[in-house]
Structure 1
């Protein structure tokens, strides 16, 4: 599975539209769910997904397969895009238009079930971390705080925050590694 992701990514970087479509089909739901969890807004989550795939298409991105899985890198890009959008929204408040009010902002039943299953796996995995690592993951990934803000909030050195994030992600990767984002065993 890793090889296919990397191949599709490389083809997308070479402006292969079919490869971009395949990447989109493989990851759109996961990225939407992830962004929706942070924004609590369907339209903002959709905007983030569009932004991520636009960036992959229009810019040369730096993915280093020796540093981890493509899906993890893609989730990091999505997380950063979501945080950027949320910061932008704070600067210019989002106006709800009448036409926006007509749309249902809740995900489909299928998306809710898929997110619930995956979030339960992650919740169980996070509970296996130390208390310090759990707190750091909550602040960094689910509340969107920067590492420096976490250091300031928790009154600990920035290096400690970085180390805890790195170690927590390593432990989570080990706990969750038997399954990919789609719940299928990895080919590795």
Structure 2
């Protein structure tokens, strides 16, 4: 008796066959765990990602539909794992920011000099960004202020990934030069 294919197991899972889910889990757990662990650099987070992937697979939600003609099942599962890892990373960053904000409320209020310095630095950065061509401004805003990856920017803007990388690199170089001219950067 031959082993069922990934696609056959996937179809059985869509019909709520728990044995098929278990078989697929056993087949891919090591691959998905090691992939998630490489991204997360944390054992518990990698396990959480793996659990999320298989829950999505079981529920048929949040994972999209696997289409055999578009590529290998393992590639599709790795994409779901990557997306789940990124989601968890972003969630953890948001929680860290929230905790940092709460902690900072308990600290002393900054003096006028510190507030003015921060505002001046922000103003200098804003002015420096305004000197960039529109397409470079957009790359910087999407990359640094909205937290999109370069690949996500390429997809959103419908331009090649290499173009995004080049624009970000050039924009950073111009910003560094502009801020150095204005005395706006420190290397502390």
TM-score in terms of structure 1 length: 0.52
Inter-partner Cα distance in structure 1 for 2:68 and 2:163: 21
Inter-partner Cα distance in structure 2 for 1:48 and 1:29: 13
Deviation of 1:145 after TM superposition, in Å, equals: 2.2
Q: How has the CA–CA distance of structure 1 residues 2 and 81 changed in structure 2, closer, same or farther, with 3 Å as cutoff? A: farther
Residues 10-64 of structure 1: per-residue CA shift (max 9 Å, x gap): 1011100000000000001100000000010000000000000000001254111
CA contact (8 A) 1:48 1:85 kept: yes
SS at match of 1:92: helix
The aligned counterpart of 2:12 is 11
The aligned counterpart of 1:50 is 51
Are 2:92 and 1:89 aligned?
yes
Residues 157-186 of structure 1: per-residue CA shift (max 9 Å, x gap): 74212999xxxxxxxxxxxxxxxxxxxxxx
1:94-105 to structure 2, matched below 5 A, reads none
The aligned counterpart of 1:69 is 72
Inter-partner Cα distance in structure 1 for 2:57 and 2:42: 23
Deviation of 1:92 after TM superposition, in Å, equals: 1.0
Are 2:151 and 1:147 aligned?
yes
**Where do 5+ consecutive residues of structure 1 fail to align?**
96-143, 165-188
Residues 105-155 of structure 1: per-residue CA shift (max 9 Å, x gap): xxxxxxxxxxxxxxxxxxxxxxxxxxxxxxxxxxxxxxx925244689xxx
SS at match of 1:15: coil
The aligned counterpart of 1:159 is 159
**Where do 5+ consecutive residues of structure 2 fail to align?**
100-147, 165-188
Residues 86-116 of structure 1: per-residue CA shift (max 9 Å, x gap): 0000011399xxxxxxxxxxxxxxxxxxxxx
1:24-43 to structure 2, matched below 5 A, reads 24-43=25-44
Larger RCO, structure (CA 8 Å, separation 6 or more): 1
